[in-house]
């Protein structure tokens, strides 16, 4: 006796890989009519629907998968990514947090969580998430860039410059993005130092 649901899912995955998402959706919908308990069916249906930009339907499919088993990292991660693309940063953040409860060693999830915090103007939390990302993956250039940018927004220019330079060392392709604001950080830092030196001279002169 052949395992028909497994064969259909394998066929659907092949269709998705070939970019034939509509055909995959049709096949998976047919499968799920007879096997609504198939977590792989719902997960792959969500993925294919997402590729077709049918976001609301995709979210429902992810939720069906999570109703069967809410302890699978990939489902929470992909749902979070979809929500982020929909600009629902708060719900995306919650889903990345759920994913990280399952696998706290996933650098990309930490980086993406940091992006959610950044979008929600939660600067300190963003920096903490990016820090976790680079702790897990020390050569993660994108996360170092994001961490630098978060420090820049917080006007912590010394740290912003240091992490931006490290990001560029790891990936020189990031240079154009860094250049957008690194000069501002350097000028701001120079002005701050000049002001501190001026205040110090003024204080010293006052004691003469």
CATH of domain 1-69: 1.25.40.10
Beta strand extents in 3-72 (DSSP E only): none
Measured from the Cβ of residue 141, the count of other Cβ atoms closer than 10 Å reads 18
* Chain centre to alpha carbon of residue 88: 13
Burial class (CB in 10 A: 0-12, 13-18, 19+), 131: middle
CA distance 106 to 98: 12
Supply the pLDDT for residue 192: 78
Quickly state the pLDDT bin for 1 (edges 50, 70, 90). very low
Residue 22's contacts (CB-CB under 8 Å, 6 or more residues apart) are: 48, 52
CATH of domain 73-138: 1.25.40.10
Quickly state the pLDDT bin for 195 (edges 50, 70, 90). confident
CA distance 50 to 41: 14
pLDDT tens for 122-181 read 999 999 999 999 999 999 999 999 999 999 999 898 999 999 999 999 999 999 888 878
Supply the pLDDT for residue 91: 98
pLDDT tens for 2-15 read 467 889 999 999 99
Supply the pLDDT for residue 105: 98
């Amino acid at each position: 006796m052949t395992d028909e649901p497994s064969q259909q899912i394998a066929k659907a995955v092949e269709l998705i890989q070939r970019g034939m998402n509509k055909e995959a959706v049709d096949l998976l919908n047919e499968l799920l009519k007879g096997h609504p308990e198939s977590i792989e069916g719902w997960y792959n249906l969500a993925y294919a629907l997402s590729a077709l930009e049918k976001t609301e339907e995709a979210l429902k499919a992810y939720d069906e998968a999570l109703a069967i088993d809410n302890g699978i990292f990939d489902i929470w991660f992909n749902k979070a990514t979809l929500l982020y693309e929909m600009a629902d940063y708060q719900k995306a953040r919650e889903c990345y947090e759920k994913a990280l409860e399952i696998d706290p060693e996933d650098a990309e999830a930490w980086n993406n969580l940091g992006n959610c915090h950044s979008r929600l103007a939660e600067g300190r939390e963003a920096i903490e998430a990016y820090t976790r990302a680079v702790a897990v993956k020390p050569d993660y250039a994108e996360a170092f860039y994001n961490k630098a940018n978060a420090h820049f927004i917080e006007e912590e220019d010394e740290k912003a410059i240091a992490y931006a330079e490290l990001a560029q060392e790891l990936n020189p392709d990031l240079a154009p993005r860094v250049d957008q604001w690194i000069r501002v950080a350097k000028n701001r830092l120079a002005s701050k130092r000049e002001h501190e030196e001026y205040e110090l001279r003024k204080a010293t002169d006052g004691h003469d």
